[in-house]
Chain A
Amino acid sequence: MNYAKREEMWGYIFVTPFLVLFLVFVLVPTIMSVVMAALEWYDRKPVWVGMDNIDHVLNDKRFWQSVRNTLTYVGMFTFAAVALALAVAIRITKFRNQGMRQGLQSAFYLPSVVSLVAVAVVWRYIFNNQFGLINYLLSVVGIEPVNWLGNPQTALPSLVFMDLVTGLGVGIIIFVAAVLGLPSELFDAAHIDGATGWLETIYITIPLLTPSILYVAVTTTIVAMQLFVSVFFLTKGGPVGSTLTLAFLTYRYAFVFLKVGYASAAGLALLLLTLALAVVLFRWFRSVVEY
């Protein structure tokens, strides 16, 4: 056997164990997620129903409500998360001491390793309208208690707030590394021209960070589109459907109402919507940056 043949054989040997599992648990389910939108299940047996599920989903007010809620959440959360993480990260890079910078990065990252289940339950306590901490703090300043999770107007923003408090770690770490990786000549040149502080940040740092901002925005969007755990523990989609997200709707139809066909069509909508958002973000960023 010649060298190229041997190399090829070993390539296959190394890649096969991964590839088998990848095919079974990633690729096949992905393809199935498209096909299953056209299937209904009766006692573990699939029946082809064509466009029925999709028609059903598209004519369901709850589906459209969940799409609206999900996009509202994603819009608020992604924008705020990217902006806040960027602000925090840029401030962290102003420290000259490397240990200090790493300590701060770790400090901001730590809350995101704690499971969402634990975090969600703490927040239900903090949001409680009788003895929750937030309402207590407001009462000290003389503001009437708000039923944060029980009011359709405040429930979704409350979830956004909760996720902002815990979910910035990854973005901060990526932005800090990106800022530190920028060529220092640019900053020297700007200093000579007198750009310091805010000007430097707005005119030099942020434009140069566009690729990292895009990366964080896209990954944050993908995660935010799948908002499930905090809805599951805090609101169950209520009040009056104001926190019903696409992921929660999908889950509930599949595993509570056992309507797998409907749930598959909703799941496909989640997939397509996420892809569409990612493409929009890519396009938008490309039009903003002039290379």
Chain B
Amino acid sequence: MLKQPTVPDELVSRPIQTEKRSWRRLREKIGGNITLLLLLFWALVSWFPLYWMVLTSFKKGQQAQALPPGLWLKEPTLESYQHVLSSTFPVLRWLANSLFVSVTVTVLGLLLCAAAGYAFARKRFRGRDIIFWMVLSTMMLPGFSRLIPAFMLTLLLNLHDTYWVMILPGLASPYAVFLIRQFMLTLPSELFDQARIDGAGEIRLWWQIALPLTKPALAALGTFTFVATWNDFVWPLAVINDLKLMPIQVGVTLLRGMERTGRNDYPIAMASGVLMAVPPVIIFFLFQQYFIRGLTIGALKG
């Protein structure tokens, strides 16, 4: 039997009169609608900055300072985009850098973490629990406190201003290993035994049985990793100085209107914002159901 939840005394085992009940219904209906309105209002508020960014990116310089501000599009212009893409800075190259680094980290990171998660879930080896506990415990630490040590370490390894320095640190994700391990623990052993009897080798057990069954977790982690790597700012800001190697997030800080804003710069800054927001938004729409599931696996089992 489930334990009875605590319900205030005045409500416990008292017959409800029908008249009171209809009042309560009415009140609930009104209350429900008010909270619904608040919900929609908040959704609107949370989308508004994005709408504002897109809208402003199509405005002319002076229009962005008009009072009252134009809340929808009049005479859209691509001037700002032209300005960003034709600037003396290699903006397209920055976008390509971001894409290359994000895709590489996502693919290689998933492979590495899926292998490790598989070992932690389905293999017995000495030191396994201690190692796993160590991996887990680093999840609770703020990544920012590793910024300077990792900076010095990669400096001493001569990795600054290379693609490696943007790729390698992102590959070993404790969170990914944890999530994949949790998922692989639930796979039935019979599957593996049967395949082993049929003569499958260890690599095949992993690649053809464990991985396909872990697809939902992998899809979720893949989208996470891509979005997080694409949006990463502090690390590349610290370790990349070469203009040609910058990811878009760092590169745009050099563009007009990003760090300091002159009078007519907002549309240009917003256009840069839109350019770097588009890829994660596309990925999000493609994989949104995995995203949601991935977030909840971690939270509910953790």
Contact = CB atoms under 8 A, between A and B. Distances in A.
Same complex for A and B? Answer: yes
Interface of A: 4, 7-15, 17-19, 21-22, 24-30, 32-33, 36, 41, 44, 84, 88, 91-92, 94, 102, 104-111, 113-119, 121-126, 130-131, 133, 136, 140, 165-166, 168, 170, 173-174, 177-178, 181, 183, 185-186, 189-190, 193-199, 203-204, 207-208, 212, 215-216, 218, 222, 225-226, 228-229, 233, 247, 250-251, 254-255, 260, 263-264, 267-268, 270-271, 274-275, 278
Contacts of A114: 50, 231, 277, 280-281
Contacts of A27: 134, 138
B176 to A, nearest CB: 9
Interface string B49-88: 1101100100000001111110000000000000000000
Interface in B117-136: 118-120, 123-126, 128, 131, 134-135
A58 B153 CA distance: 26
Given A116-B233, A125-B56, A199-B8, 5 more contacts: A15-B123, A122-B49, A136-B69, A222-B140, A254-B151
B6 interface: yes
Given A117-B249, A122-B273, A194-B16, A222 B46 contact: no
Nearest to B21: A194
A226 B172 contact: no
20 contacts: A7-B124, A14-B115, A17-B112, A19-B131, A22-B135, A25-B150, A29-B150, A30-B138, A30-B149, A36-B149, A107-B43, A113-B280, A113-B283, A115-B230, A115-B233, A118-B274, A136-B67, A136-B69, A177-B300, A267-B144
Nearest to A222: B142
Contacts of B148: 33, 36, 250, 254, 260, 263-264, 267
Nearest to B155: A44
Nearest to A25: B169
A37 B142 CA distance: 16
A28 B149 contact: yes
Q: What is the interface residue range for chain B against chain A? A: 35 or more
Nearest to B14: A194
Q: Which 3 A-B pairs have the closest CB atoms?
A: A11-B123, A11-B125, A118-B273
B140 A21 contact: no
A267 B14 CA distance: 59
A203 B6 contact: yes
B254 to A, nearest CB: 12
A254 B263 CA distance: 32
A225 B142 contact: yes
Contacts of A199: 7-8, 11
Contacts, number: 314
Contact of A32 (B50, B153, B257, B270): B153
A196 B274 CA distance: 45
A273 to B, nearest CB: 9
Contacts of B69: 131, 133, 136
A250 B151 CA distance: 13
A9 to B, nearest CB: 8
A196 B172 contact: no
A143 to B, nearest CB: 15
Given A203-B7, A233-B259, A271-B142, A186 B14 contact: no
B47 A110 contact: yes
Contact of B31 (A19, A198, A215): A198
Given A222-B142, A260-B148, A174 B11 contact: no
A270 B295 contact: no
Most buried by A among B49, B168, B227: B49
A18 B112 contact: yes
B273 A247 contact: no
A178 B299 contact: yes
A18 B49 contact: no
Contacts of B231: 113-117
B179 interface: no
Nearest to B154: A25
A174 B142 contact: no
A133 B52 contact: yes
B292 interface: yes
Contacts of A105: 292
Given A111-B46, A165-B45, A24 B67 contact: no
A101 to B, nearest CB: 10
A91 B36 contact: yes
A111 B134 contact: no
